Structure 1
Amino acid sequence: MKISRPTIASRSADLLKRGIDRLNADQYTLAEALFREIVALDPNHAGAWHQLGVTLARQQQFAQGEAAMRRALSLGDSGERQRDLAWTLLWQGRDDEAIAAYSRAINLGMREARLFNNLGNLLKKRNDAVHAEAAYRAAIEADPAYALAYGNLAMLQQDAGQFEAAEASLRKALELDPKATRLWQSYGGLLERLNRLDEADEAYCMGKRWESAQYVRRCVAHWRDLDRIDRAALEMVASGTAEHLTPWGLLGIPALTPGLHREAGRRFAETRWRGELAAAPLVARGAGLAEALAACGNGARLRIGYLSADFHEHATLRLLAGVLELHDAARFDIHLYSYGKHAPDAFWQARLAALPATFHAIGGLTDAQAAARIAHDGIHLLVDLKGYTTDTRLGITALRPAPVIVSWLGYPGSLGAPRLADYLIGDAVVTPPAAASNYSETLALMPHCYQPNDHRRELDPPPPTRAAAGLPEHGFVFCSFNQTFKLNAQMATIWARLLNATAASVLWLLDPGSERTRENLHAFFETQGVARERVIFAPRLAQPAHLARLQLADLALDTLPTGSHTTGSDVLWAGVPMVSAPGALFAGRVGASLLHAMGLDELIARDLDNYFQIALALASDPAWHAQVRKRLAQARREAPLFDTARFTRDLEQLFVAIVRREVEGGEGPVVAQ
């Protein structure tokens, strides 16, 4: 009896079927072995090469996966193979090539909703809103039940200001997939942007997006049941169960630790900029710095780039104007890269004209194009001024357009992803060396305070009368002009104790712009025995008028866990003492840093009990209060905090020390030399 032997073709077909079964079961090691056995038997088996490429890519071996897929394509083109190649290129941050591969897949007849959706995302990144919308609509046409495409279309409509259309798209997406947490996050974000905060809160809770729910509640001073929501939010961070969990919104949670905050940053970066973080760096770390440093002694200049979206009405960045103006143009070639949606406002237009700097408007460029522009300009040290704040585009720094990247000023914490920034500028108070393990960046320490101030900021208008500012004619004025999300029941309880212990005193708060928020705050203080007329809301004013009225306050009260930043330097500039207690986070230690740089360490409390005692003593002892105000007025002229020229020289020394560290190596924090 003759026994038939299996042919290579039949053997390969059996192995291919088994391999695909293993691949679909996520058994990648077994699948890879089976596909490799096929191509060893038949080197021209296009299907096996393709499935091997998919298997490798799913194991994040993208370069090897791409090579296998291209081998398959050399043996025969198909829409499926182009689609999977595009996905592999996307994960490597090679967006243009991915777009081309998706387009070839479509031309070869592919009509999958996921393909069109991914193409839309890439086109949106390229700022090609017209074709991105067409791609999302094609995804919906291919699969009318594909909720994700409706959600992405909504984000595109929201960016274009088409809020009604965006809401309709999100409602449709949630109708199709009511359990999709990402869609609830997007819907809550839209409602928050429209200032429909109660509805935003409901949307976030529906999607169990606790990190966003707690933030919205803090924005409206809705403090009930926050402990439970805070615990759930921190568990989401620790477990990594939520994508796109913005680290900035966590800063109001009292139990947030620096380690968890760093972890939130890492997860956010790896979710938001996966492709960019995986792409080959445009500039190798440290490349050319040795030559640049050596040339500086021969009249050459270090090229410093500042990257931000905020060269318009933005309080924090305005503090930097004086530093930019005073940079030593003989030693530093300064470049400002603005990707903001708004043109520079009148303040910046006036200042930019006189700055020893080159201004680059890169808002119309994609992240890849902007990074290429910075790399072409040969920037030696790039300073990102945004971090994880609103409208950030850290995709630019993720592509590594400079040999060394520094995070500073905008975001008070670690970015968590080492590729986004090599150094974080702080000082010994906000970023003590003992806390270095809480940062993915190497600490770079300014000698006094990390926060700059503008030497040309003046108290031009005289202070208004107390009556004009809405204050009573007599009585001690406590104030806190921080955003409402920084307030909480613990701090407000201490403030209520101060009011109850200080006859005829009032608390002056920044008007939150919401009747519901004002009502929540009044209701809370009433539970603490404080009458409504003793909590006064100040309307928002232009900066000069705001600084003028601040002089009417007697004592500023800092907040925790996130404290006063520009608000703190504003009150000190206006000559108003501030009491602060340093917290665990960078964001909760800024007030202490400001006071230390003013020589007013006695106003830095050990803990919140001591905070209460210092504030009460200042309110109860007119002689000590007058003495502190006198010292503050003198320090405003002499202390390092408001000495912009001194700050600029220190910053320049720190930049040079960072570059030298890159060239020579070293351990521990970098300090200005």
Structure 2
Amino acid sequence: MSFHQSGGKARLRTSTDTQALFNVALASLQSGDLSKAQAHFLEVIAKAPGNSDALHLLGVTKYLQKDYVDAQRWISKALAIRKVPSYLINLGLTLAAQAQDGAAVDAYQKAIALGPQEARVYNNLGNLLKKLKDFLGAESNYRQAIETNASYALAHKNLAMLLQDAGRIDEAEISLKRALQFNPDSADFLLAYGDMLERLHRLAQAEDAYRQGRHWDSLQYIKRQRADWDQLDEIDAAAMLQVTSAHTGTVSTWSLLGMPGLTPQAHRLAGKRFALSRWGAELAAPETVRRVDADCARLRIGYLSSDFYDHATMHLLAGVLELHDPARFDIHLYSYGPVRNDAFTGRIAHMPAVFHDISACTNDAAARQIADDGIHLLVDLKGYTTGARLGITALRPAPVIVSWLGYPGSLGHPRLADYIIGDAVVTPVSAAPHYSETLALLPNCYQPNDHRRACGAPPSRVAAGLPEQGLVFCSFNQTFKFNEEMFAIWCRLLQAIEQSVLWLLKPPLDEAVENLRRFVAARGIDSARLVFADRLPQTEHLARLQLADLALDTFPCGSHTTGSDALWAGVPMVTRPGMLFAGRVGASLVRAVGLEELVAEDDEAYFQLALSLARDPVRLAGMRARLIAQRLSCPLFDTRKFTRDLERLYSAMWLRETSGENRHGQPLVLDVEG
């Protein structure tokens, strides 16, 4: 990382020997020999304690060694002697590295007050102000950087990202194109441009940007969203090299889940690198000072998310939040997402919980609020899903931090979460080495469900877009979970079962629909036997879902809410477990409804099991009847029992925390009965 140096020669009023020693120290610093530079600067300071340049550059040396606290101390000593812009700028860098963003802004502004600065100073200040949610100030400084140096590509790119977040997409694209004009081969800029195009659903152009930037991980995800499986083996192999190579930049985490070759070890590594790239300053900062009453009569639980509205997470979690025991648990909901006026807004208002809108807070301010509220256990519900702010949990605002529900995998960095909640199927004890978190296993299924979900009378088949006759296979998963091998099995089922149809959720891209129809037609199947369903509100979706006969799980990334939706609607689901958490959820779901016989060992067993059920309507009807009869009593849908088990797990975590035993890494397994 570059640093700012004083202009001109050092103002030394010492001997020629000291000057020579300073020059040696400076040469060592510039050559990257940090240990030698540190030793020589200390010698200079011993001989000339008032040498501000030596004090400053010793601080820079410490900064480059990632000893940010000591760096701040030495640079502050230099500033006590002389107010020099470069000292202030490097102090700002040091403070920012410790997530002391407000103090870093102050240092930058003081440097700028002493006179005009380089473009990168304004750019860095813009980054800090954006982080502090001063978006007008950030935009002003990015534009000042560009005015200072019109060809400074990084400022154009950062301005584009700011404008994109503000919804000013047309302006954002212009700024990003300018950045690429000045640096057309920048992998970082091409990644940003591809992401922008992806958000605009211009996936073909996004694919070109990712390919040019050699972002194979993003490229494979785009192709899977388009149901374009050509050359995916080669692209997946290149993406895996990116994940495992120490010499490549960070890669996405969620988007990797559709890759058949992804291992738990590689997924954990990708998570760690992503965390360090996105929240490195918070991960390196001192932990938030907490105000926790260890002997509090009620355990104070905080849930952290941006999804406290009509969202898939709330469809699962709402019942649990309503059923928490207020006599034993003090529940707080921390929302950094939009507060929307929908059906869940009213439910939240009547939950035994305190709602906190922290959307306007910086990561530091949010962490301080949570810490000041005395939260014992903070449960992060997002992980690496869209909109996540793990910078909050990285600051450690609670003694125990738990990862649950939103992200099916390890976050990769132990500071982000102490525990991950799973079960014996999705996170078996044998998988513990693949997690930076300690496994915390619920006795049945890790996934909650809302017992109040409506499942009314189904519409007619014609109204739902289905033919009046024929067996209905269904899979309402996102398109990126589909792949050639799996779809080939589904085609075999369509070929074997006359008049059957495959009912899918309509992809947002017409191109994906066309590619899927083309795939089945190439195998001699009428493409009209693929039926695409529009997206509906959940109540209407659950009603129509009852028209399906058999749900087909996806692999290697399986059904999650789509799987429990099908089972809630009384539709059996054939599944097969994979290596990853995300590929084992289906097996956990069917186990928790007492239908373990729906779990197949491999691809062929999956095909044969689905085929035998499709050919045996009596057996299939019996499974449907069992699902409907035990809808509220089986472990998967008994929300009250699930909530009591979850509370027991929280209590066990806190007992372990307060017992003084160092048992981190040893799985916490909850017994069935309690």
Q: Out of 417, 422, 440, which is 1:421 matched to? A: 417
Per-residue CA shift, 1:93-113, capped at 9, x if unaligned?
A: 111111111111111225112
Q: Out of 160, 165, 188, which is 2:194 matched to? A: 188
- Per-residue deviation at 1:525? 1.4
Are 1:61 and 2:67 matched, yes or no?
Answer: yes
Unaligned runs of 5+ in 2: 1-11
Per-residue CA shift, 1:466-521, capped at 9, x if unaligned?
A: 11111111111111000001111111011011111111111111000221111111
Q: Distance in 2 between matches of 1:7 and 1:384?
A: 56
Q: Distance in 2 between matches of 1:420 and 1:283?
A: 16
Q: Distance in 2 between matches of 1:62 and 1:637?
A: 55
Per-residue CA shift, 1:103-139, capped at 9, x if unaligned?
A: 1111122511221111111100111100000111111
Written as runs of structure 1 = structure 2, the 5 A alignment for 1:445-484 is 445-460=441-456, 462-484=457-479
Q: Distance in 2 between matches of 1:26 and 1:10?
A: 24
Q: Distance in 1 between matches of 2:27 and 2:524?
A: 69
Per-residue CA shift, 1:156-196, capped at 9, x if unaligned?
A: 00011110100000000011111211111111111111111
Corresponding position of 2:3: none
Are 1:93 and 2:99 matched, yes or no?
Answer: yes
Corresponding position of 2:625: 630
Are 1:27 and 2:24 matched, yes or no?
Answer: no
- Aligned Cα root-mean-square deviation (Å): 1.5
Taking structure 1 as the reference length, the TM-score comes to: 0.96
Are 1:588 and 2:594 matched, yes or no?
Answer: no
Q: Out of 592, 608, 614, which is 1:619 matched to? A: 614
Q: Distance in 1 between matches of 2:246 and 2:480?
A: 24
Corresponding position of 1:379: 375
Are 1:567 and 2:562 matched, yes or no?
Answer: yes
For 1:15, what is the secondary structure of its paired residue?
Answer: helix
Are 1:536 and 2:531 matched, yes or no?
Answer: yes
Per-residue CA shift, 1:272-302, capped at 9, x if unaligned?
A: 1111111111146xx847x33xx4xxxx211
Which amino acid letter does the alignment assign opposite residue 464 of structure 1? P
Q: 1:11 to 1:142 in 2, by over 3 A?
A: farther
Which amino acid letter does the alignment assign opposite residue 566 of structure 1? T
Corresponding position of 2:313: 316
Q: Distance in 1 between matches of 2:246 and 2:359?
A: 32
Are 1:218 and 2:224 matched, yes or no?
Answer: yes
More divergent stretch after superposition (316-325 vs 156-165): 316-325
Counterpart contact for 1:311–1:345, Cα < 8 Å: no
Q: Distance in 1 between matches of 2:398 and 2:280?
A: 19
For 1:642, what is the secondary structure of its paired residue?
Answer: coil
Unaligned runs of 5+ in 1: 1-5
Taking structure 2 as the reference length, the TM-score comes to: 0.95
Q: Distance in 1 between matches of 2:105 and 2:395?
A: 18
- Per-residue deviation at 1:7? 9.6
Written as runs of structure 1 = structure 2, the 5 A alignment for 1:297-446 is 300-340=297-337, 342-446=338-442
Q: Distance in 1 between matches of 2:67 and 2:353?
A: 43
For 1:273, what is the secondary structure of its paired residue?
Answer: helix
Counterpart contact for 2:381–2:405, Cα < 8 Å: yes
Q: 1:244 to 1:152 in 2, by over 3 A?
A: farther
Counterpart contact for 2:292–2:371, Cα < 8 Å: no
Q: Distance in 1 between matches of 2:649 and 2:604?
A: 37
- Per-residue deviation at 1:86? 0.7
For 2:354, what is the secondary structure of its paired residue?
Answer: strand
Are 1:147 and 2:149 matched, yes or no?
Answer: no
Q: Distance in 1 between matches of 2:150 and 2:566?
A: 56
For 2:557, what is the secondary structure of its paired residue?
Answer: coil
- Per-residue deviation at 1:415? 0.5
Q: Out of 21, 44, 47, which is 1:41 matched to? A: 47
Corresponding position of 2:18: 12
For 1:641, what is the secondary structure of its paired residue?
Answer: coil
Counterpart contact for 2:451–2:632, Cα < 8 Å: no
Counterpart contact for 1:336–1:359, Cα < 8 Å: yes
For 1:512, what is the secondary structure of its paired residue?
Answer: coil
Per-residue CA shift, 1:226-264, capped at 9, x if unaligned?
A: 111111111111114444522111111111111111111
Q: Out of 628, 635, 639, which is 1:644 matched to? A: 639
Q: Distance in 1 between matches of 2:105 and 2:252?
A: 28
Counterpart contact for 2:292–2:374, Cα < 8 Å: no
Q: Distance in 2 between matches of 1:572 and 1:145?
A: 57
Which amino acid letter does the alignment assign opposite residue 457 of structure 1? R
Q: Distance in 2 between matches of 1:70 and 1:7?
A: 21
* Count of aligned pairs: 657
Q: Distance in 1 between matches of 2:334 and 2:340?
A: 12
Percent identity, aligned pairs only, is: 55
Counterpart contact for 2:575–2:599, Cα < 8 Å: yes
Which amino acid letter does the alignment assign opposite residue 308 of structure 2? F
- Per-residue deviation at 1:70? 1.3
Written as runs of structure 1 = structure 2, the 5 A alignment for 1:142-291 is 142-283=148-289, 288=292, 291=294
Corresponding position of 1:75: 81
- Per-residue deviation at 1:21? 2.2
* Aligned structure 1 segments of 4 or more residues deviating by more than 3 angstroms: 240-244
Q: Distance in 2 between matches of 1:131 and 1:288?
A: 36
More divergent stretch after superposition (27-36 vs 558-567): 27-36
